[in-house]
């Protein structure tokens, strides 16, 4: 015989799993581990992006750099490049921490309802085994 409550709960669980795959994958991590992973991705991305931008600027200004190679202040340029890199990295890291912390907390709130339905489904199965 069909159990309407069981069908209803299973439908809700399947719908949630389809819509919120990211929440379920996020639940595998502790909050600190998830944020660290995202910060690591951010550091790699910012570093790679900054390097590519410097490379493009260097190629664009190649003629000037070659013509002034002896008289350029390489230490000053290096300090400016490093300062900008550190500021960018700091800003993006702070933004990543804030955004990922918010996303993780929101995901946990959403998963509370999902786990409630899982417990209800488990209770339905336990009751079904007792009846048999």
Q: What DSSP string describes 17-77?
A: HHH-HHHHHHTTS-HHHHHHHHHHHHHHHHHHHHHHHHHHHHHHTHHHHHHTTTT--HHHH
Q: Identify the CA nearest to 107 among candidates 15, 25, 37.
A: 25
Task: Give the predicted TM-score (pTM) of the model.
Answer: 0.73
Q: Does residue 65 lie within any of the structural domains?
A: yes
Residue 7 lies in a domain: no
Lookup: tokens for 105: 């907390």
Query: 117 and 17 in contact (C-beta within 8 Å)?
Result: no
Domain count, the chain: 1
| Domain coverage including residue 90 | 40-100
Query: Is residue 96 situated within a structural domain?
Result: yes
pLDDT tens, position by position, for the chain (132 residues)?
567 777 777 877 787 777 777 777 788 889 999 999 999 999 999 999 999 999 999 999 999 999 998 998 999 999 999 999 999 999 999 999 999 999 999 888 888 777 787 788 788 778 776 555
Tell me whether residue 107 is in a domain: no
- Residue 4 counted as domain residue: no
DSSP H helix total and E strand total for the chain: 5, 0
Cα 124 to its chain centre, rounded Å, is: 36
Backbone torsions φ then ψ of 80, nearest 5 degrees: -65, -45
76 in a structural domain:
yes
Say if 2 falls within a structural domain: no
Asked whether residue 48 is domain-assigned, the answer is yes
């Amino acid at each position: 015989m069909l159990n309407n409550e069981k069908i209803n709960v299973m439908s809700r669980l399947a719908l949630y799993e389809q819509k919120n795959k990211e929440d379920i994958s996020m639940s595998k991590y502790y909050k600190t581990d998830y944020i660290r992973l995202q910060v690591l991705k951010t550091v790699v991305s910012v570093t790679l992006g900054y390097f590519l931008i410097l490379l493009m600027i260097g190629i664009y200004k190649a003629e000037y750099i070659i013509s002034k190679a002896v008289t350029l202040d390489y230490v000053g340029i290096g300090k400016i490049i490093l300062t900008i890199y550190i500021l960018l990295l700091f800003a993006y890291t702070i933004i990543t921490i804030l955004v990922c912390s918010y996303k993780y907390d929101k995901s946990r709130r959403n998963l509370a309802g999902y786990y409630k339905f899982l417990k209800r489904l488990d209770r339905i199965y336990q009751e079904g085994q007792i009846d048999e």
